[in-house]
Structure 1
Amino acid sequence: MMFPQSRHSASSQQLKFTTSDSCDRIKDEFQFLQAQYHSLKLECDKLASEKSEMQRHYIMYYEMSYGLNIEMHKQAEIVKRLNGICAQVLPYLSQEHQQQVLGAIERAKQVTPPEMNSIIRQQLQAHQLSQLQGLALPMTPLPLGLTQPTLPAVTSSSGLFSLSSILASQAQLAKEEKAAREGADNHRDEDGDKSD
């Protein structure tokens, strides 16, 4: 009679042991999954911030590309108009001068990629030099309404981004100079009207 009772108590202890073990295993798994969820959430947040940063860069590069495209079309139109002016003026030159001018025009049209790289490098170096001089030496004051152009420092690693920044700042400077010229022209026109 004692034997069945001890067997029953042993099975209940075994059941308690397995239940306790199962609870511990479930708790461990839950903690593991919670830690995994936390790390995945952090990674997801990091990727979301990187995505928004990439979108910001994409918009910035798109705007730069659009601005450069507009500038390229503008320069192409200027070249076309200047070619038209040269073609109109050319017949008025002597035959000898016409040949010289035509030769010079043809030479000007033949720009090779190495020459372009050299020109861009020289422009970047000139901008760096002017920026360094602007920092080191006090300059004479600019006419009223004009501001000193500020250009970003260029390093070998900044490449296209620095070139596009320089082009953008040149375009901004050109706009400011044009506005200043128009303001000066309007001022002269007003002075001319007053003197009449």
Structure 2
Amino acid sequence: MLEPLSPLAAYLAPSAWIDSDHPAVAAKAAALAAGRVTDAAMTEAAFVFVRDAIRHSADYRQNPVTRAASEVLAHGTGYCYAKAHLLVALLRASGIPAGLCYQRLVLDPGNDATRYCLHCLAAVRLKDWGWYRIDPRGNKAGVDARFTPPTERLAFPVTAPGEVDLPGIHAAPLPVVMEALTRHTTWNALYDALPDVSL
């Protein structure tokens, strides 16, 4: 399993992009947690909400490009990065440690010119299972991410040459991701310039 890169307190704290202290985020977290006793039940409710109710910007060709968790909640859309920010913020608002994980994936496997991009998902620290990765990017044909601890059911398996699960659980988004989200204002402009890292 991936290891955290920061002290546990960092995975509970609000920040500019993971603004778990925003009133709307805190209220949504409380509503999702209502009547649920365990951290696993609260996590599943938050995961399913972000996966299913927040539209993936590229899947739906939807603007604006959102970044902070509160923006994602307000507009109901976001790329994988932004959706993960919202899920992590909802979990932190409920007192559940959570962070960000990244994969480097082939963007268009059927294309002759191989193009890679970063994909973002979340990791949550559950009392019964420890750190566990979940992917709220949104299901579609060929993508079936689920909450099934301790077994991971992620959106994308790492199988092609050059693809990799990047190490570590990050308390804050990677700078290269935030630079791309901040520079581009439309879903298609961002799609043409998705962030990547060199291995």
TM-score normalised by L of structure 1: 0.25
Higher strand share: 2
Greater Cα radius of gyration, structure 1 or 2:
1
RCO comparison, higher one (Cα < 8 Å, 6+): 2
Higher helix share: 1
TM-score normalised by L of structure 2: 0.24
